[in-house]
C-alpha cells in the first residue's frame, strides 16, 4: 500500500505542475500579444518594428519621463503642413553631432527622438524639425490673454523700427506662470537646461505684415564680442491663419543666400502656421559654428492674425 500511496501523491504533484505551467504559458502569450500591439507612439527606442521613415515615437524606457496631459490621446497623422522644393524623405531622422575636440568641445547635442514629443526632421542643413501638438489650446489662449494689451511695434536689433519687420511684439518672463511652463516644455524637448532661455517674445502679425529673412544669432563681426549666443529657436504657433508661413530659403543646404530678395518666400522650406505646433531650428552646429543656412523669415499674412511665441536657447561661446 505504501508504494501505491506514494504513486498517487506523485500524480497529484505532476498534475499541479502541469496546470501551473499551462497558466504561466497563457499569461506569457497574453503579455506578448499586448506588448507586440503597442501603438507606435509608445514603442521603445529599441523596438525593431518602429517605422523610422517618419520617426514619430515617445520614450518609454525604464523610467518614463513626464508626458504632457494633452498628448496622452494624440493620434499620429502624416505631416502635411509644409512646402519644400526638395524631398524631405531624404533627410536623415538620426542626425549625428559634429565632432568636438578637447580644445573645442561640443556646445550641445541635437534633440533626440524618443523623448516626450513626436517630431520629424525636415532639413539637415540647417537642422529643422516640426513638432505637432507641442502646446495645448489653454496654453495658447493664456499667452494671448497676457500679451494682447501689451503689444508694441517689433524692432530690429541694432536698428529699431525698420521696414523689414512690420509685426507687433511683447515679452513674457520665464520666471513664473505660462512663460515658465513654456520654457520647461521647450527645455524638455531640446534637453537644454532650464535657465538657458531668453525672455519669450510674443508676436502678432496682421494681414500684410511680415519679417524679411534674417538670422537669430548675433554675429560678433557686426554685434561685437558675445559671451553667449543663440543656438536653437523654438517657434510656437498660437493661432491658425492663412499665409504667414515661416520661411527657410536655404533649407537643404543651399549655398547661395538669395541676397537680392529677402522677402521672396518662393524657395526652400515653408511651414504653414498651425495652432499648438512648433518649429525647431538650429542657428549653430553643435561645435558652436554659426550655420548660415539658418536664414529664415516670416511671409506676409493673407487672412486672420498670426500669433506666435519665440523661445531662444543660448550656449556659452
> What are the extents of the domains in the chain?
2-37, 69-316
Q: What is the pLDDT of residue 241?
A: 96
The contacts of residue 100 (CB under 8 Å, 6+ apart) are: 106, 286, 287
Strands (E), 33-187: 82-84, 120-124, 127-131, 152-153, 168-172
What are the grid coordinates assigned to 315, written together? 550656449
pLDDT along the chain (317 residues), means of 10: 49 60 54 34 25 25 34 39 87 77 84 78 94 96 97 92 96 97 96 96 98 95 94 98 94 68 84 95 95 94 98 95
Instruction: Determine whether 201 is exposed, middle or buried from the number of CB atoms within 10 Å of its CB (0-12, 13-18, 19+).
Output: middle
Classify 33 as helix, strand or coil: helix
Rg for the chain (alpha carbons), in Å?
Answer: 26
Which ranges in 162-269 belong to alpha helices (H)? 177-190, 220-223
CATH class given for the domain over 69-316? mainly beta
CA distance 151 to 148: 6
User: Which pLDDT score, from 0 to 100, does residue 47 have?
Assistant: 25
Name the grid cell of 313: 536657447
List pLDDT tens digits, range 74-115: 333 444 588 898 888 889 887 777 766 777 789 999 988 765
Amino acid at each position: 500500500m505504501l508504494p501505491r500511496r506514494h504513486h498517487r501523491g506523485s500524480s497529484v504533484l505532476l498534475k499541479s505542475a502541469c496546470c501551473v505551467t499551462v497558466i504561466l504559458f497563457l499569461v506569457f502569450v497574453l503579455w506578448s500579444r499586448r506588448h507586440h500591439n503597442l501603438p507606435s507612439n509608445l514603442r521603445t527606442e529599441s523596438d525593431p518594428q518602429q517605422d523610422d521613415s517618419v520617426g514619430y515615437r515617445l520614450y518609454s524606457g525604464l523610467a518614463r519621463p513626464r508626458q504632457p496631459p494633452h498628448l496622452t490621446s494624440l493620434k499620429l497623422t502624416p505631416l502635411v503642413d509644409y512646402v519644400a522644393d526638395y524631398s524631405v524623405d531624404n533627410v536623415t531622422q538620426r542626425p549625428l553631432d559634429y565632432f568636438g575636440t578637447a580644445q573645442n568641445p561640443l556646445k550641445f547635442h541635437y534633440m533626440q527622438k524618443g523623448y516626450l514629443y513626436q517630431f520629424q526632421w525636415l532639413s539637415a542643413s540647417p537642422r529643422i524639425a516640426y513638432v505637432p501638438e507641442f502646446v495645448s489650446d489653454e496654453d495658447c489662449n493664456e499667452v494671448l490673454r497676457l500679451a494682447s494689451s501689451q503689444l508694441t511695434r517689433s524692432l530690429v536689433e541694432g536698428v529699431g523700427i525698420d521696414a523689414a519687420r512690420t509685426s507687433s511684439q511683447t515679452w513674457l518672463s520665464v520666471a513664473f506662470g505660462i512663460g515658465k511652463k513654456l520654457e520647461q516644455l521647450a527645455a524638455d524637448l531640446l534637453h537644454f537646461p532650464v535657465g538657458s532661455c531668453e525672455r519669450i517674445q510674443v508676436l502678432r502679425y496682421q494681414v500684410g505684415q511680415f519679417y524679411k529673412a534674417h538670422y537669430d544669432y548675433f554675429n560678433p563681426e557686426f554685434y561685437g564680442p558675445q559671451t553667449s549666443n543663440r543656438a536653437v529657436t523654438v517657434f510656437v504657433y498660437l493661432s491658425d491663419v492663412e499665409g504667414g508661413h515661416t520661411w527657410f530659403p536655404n533649407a537643404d543646404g543651399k549655398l547661395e543666400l538669395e541676397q537680392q530678395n529677402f522677402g521672396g518666400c518662393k524657395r526652400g522650406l515653408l511651414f504653414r502656421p498651425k495652432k499648438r505646433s512648433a518649429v525647431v531650428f538650429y542657428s549653430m552646429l553643435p561645435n558652436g559654428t554659426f550655420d548660415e543656412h539658418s536664414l529664415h523669415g516670416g511671409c506676409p499674412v493673407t487672412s486672420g492674425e498670426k500669433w506666435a511665441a519665440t523661445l531662444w536657447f543660448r550656449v556659452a561661446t
